[in-house]
Each structure stands twice: as C-alpha cells, then as structure tokens.
Amino acid sequence: MSETPKEARETYIKGIESALAQNAHAREFYFPANWYERIKMNKRLGREIGVGLEPWTALGWGDLYSRIIVRNSLDSTGVSIDCGSFVTSILEGIRKAQGL
C-alpha cells in the first residue's frame, strides 16, 4: 500500500531530521557556530527543503521551524532566524521547484 501525501511528507521531514541528527557534517554545515553564517545556511536549508516539499505544499510547513531550526540550534550560538524568515526561504524553494 502506498503512502498518503501526508505520510509521504512526514517521511521526507523525518529524513531531514534524521540526517541532521546523525550526520555531524550536515549539522555543522547548516548550523555553523558563526551567527551570521548560520543565518545564511539556515535560509539555504529552508530553500532546499522547499524544493523537496513542493509536491505537498497544500499540507503546510508551520511545524518545520521548531522541528528543524529550533531543535538544531540548542547550542551556544542559538536560533539565528525567525519562523517568518525560514518559511520565506521554504517558499522560495517551492517556487524554484515549480519553475517560477
């Protein structure tokens, strides 16, 4: 039996969470210690996630900020971008995937 769109989206998000949790290189790449570099890389991550989320845009993405950004920013540098900036980056990725 194939996954529902909601299940497929959740599988995609869990894959991102797992990659960041289990791969130190990926976590250091997207969550560097330098505050300004982290802002840039968190926005890049949002765009890259957005490209992958394009098939499930109707399901929303409001939970991703806490699941991806906040969870991976519990260090001395802390959270560097707000939810609005992250969602804007996701939308940029979705538009890119749609060819807009």
Give DSSP secondary structure letters for 66-84.
IIIIIGGG-SSS---S-HH
Residue 1 has pLDDT above 70, yes or no: no
The per-residue pLDDT for range 16-50, each reduced to its tens digit, is 999 999 999 999 999 999 999 999 999 999 999 99
Task: Count CB-CB contacts under 10 A for residue 40.
Answer: 13
Mean pLDDT of the chain: 92
Q: Encoding tokens for residue 19?
A: 């990659």
List, in order, residues 6 or more apart from 27 with CB less than 8 Å away. 20, 21, 72
Alpha helices (H) along the chain: 5-22, 24-30, 35-53, 64, 83-97
Look up the domain containing 50 and give its range.
Answer: 5-97
Domain count, the chain: 1
63/96 Cα distance (integer angstroms): 21
Tokens matching residue 91: 């939308």
Is the pLDDT at 12 greater than 90? The verdict is yes
pLDDT surpasses 90 at 60 = no
Q: Are 90 and 52 within 8 A, CB to CB?
A: no
**62, pLDDT greater than 90:** no
**pTM across the whole model:** 0.90
